[in-house]
Amino acid sequence: MDIFFSTMMLMYSLMTGTGEENAAAGHVAASMANAAAGQTIFETSPAFASATPPVVSADGKKTDPQPDAPAVKGIYVTAHSAGGARMSSLLKLIDDTDLNSMVIDVKDDNGYITYPTETPELLEMGTPQKYIKDIGSLMSTLKQHDIYPIARIVVFKDTALARKQPDLSYLHADGTIWKNGRGESFVNPYREEVWKYNVDIAKEAARLGFKEIQFDYVRFPEGFEKRADSLTFTKTDESRVSVVAGFVKYAREQLEPLGVRVSVDIFGYAASVPAAEGIGQDFVKISNDVHVISPMIYPSHYSTGWFDQKDPDKSPYATIKGAMADTHKKLDPTGDSKPIIRPWIQDFTASWLGKGHYVKYGKTEVEAQIKALQDSGVNEYLLWNAGNKYSEGVNYE
């Protein structure tokens, strides 16, 4: 161990210097040395996240740390795609169109950290995988293609952590971990250890070069209010809405000084209804503490009657237009606190809706959604396809 640690010390001294390449190398060396020591010996520079020092508001109000960022038009990219053969075709899609961004899983829907981190604090609670074997090489590739990199971190849906530390989750009377109908477990937003763990992952993503951290599943499980009394978990007198909003505020305050934006994915219908007390999501309270809000306004996710549509999936323009009207109505009163609105839109076919209630999505349907956004004064968007198979020939202008 002594020899190995000495080697890591030597690597750190050799690999750190000036310039972005040395900064990246130094971060890797520092992580290895810290892992060998079992504690944090070297602090890596947060300035690696941005070449320009960010402006930090003295009064604690949010300030956009990426004021020169482009109008983002992006796609979702799984860690398997980012670290595998599909990445070449996704890079070509970006290069050949007006798309300019990728949202890449850094902590995925199972709770796995998607690359082999060596940071002791993350290894203590996290479960790294090698889906992205060389995260440094990936970041270099994104930079070469002038791609705005966004790190997606799934926060409170975390089966891996629930299994590793059941006390951070929800337990049945017999001590077993609660699971939803898909076999997924959540961890408890009341536990600040969970807050810190996810923000620590975000900080590492910032050091690696991601310019924005997108938090997903920032909520309690769906229907939680119906089962909370039957489960054992740590809680305080704070409401679920306050706890979730508190996490978002904490994350922004921790990450904004590092030069990265904070964004949050939220149910699209949250803009059309009062606060969703059960899952702890209040559209306005969350929006007040993010730089970007990304409502998931997939037409397939609205049921009959929404926006006067019998089958919203079959009316992509009208559905998106209605969702944006509600979003503006909800956020316009927030004034200077209003974040960038960058919705998730649909590039998949919702065949599960049943015959007669859906259409096959392709170029026409995607362009209809983009047109509805533009007609609503929204120029940024993200495309969702879980398998990363995006429609051909779409005009993204």
Q: Report the alpha-carbon distance of residue 26 to residue 134 in Å, rounded.
A: 15
Same-domain pairing of 139 and 22: no
Same-domain pairing of 38 and 146: no
Answer yes or no: is 51 within a domain: no
CA geometry: angle 338, 340, 341, nearest 5 deg:
100
Alpha helices in 267-314 (DSSP H): 283-287
Whether the pLDDT of residue 59 is over 80: the answer is no
Whether the pLDDT of residue 18 is over 90: the answer is no
Domain range holding 18? 1-44
Same-domain pairing of 238 and 286: yes
Same-domain pairing of 198 and 222: yes
- Confidence band, pLDDT 50/70/90 cuts, at residue 23: very low
Whether the pLDDT of residue 178 is over 70: the answer is yes
- Residue located via tokens 């629930």: 162
Q: What is the model's pTM?
A: 0.86
Answer yes or no: is 283 within a domain: yes
The full DSSP string for 34-67 is HHHHTS---PPPGGGG-SSPPP--TTS----S-T
Whether the pLDDT of residue 261 is over 50: the answer is yes
Total domain count for the chain? Answer: 2
Query: What average pLDDT does range 72-80 have in this prediction?
Result: 98
Answer yes or no: is 54 within a domain: no
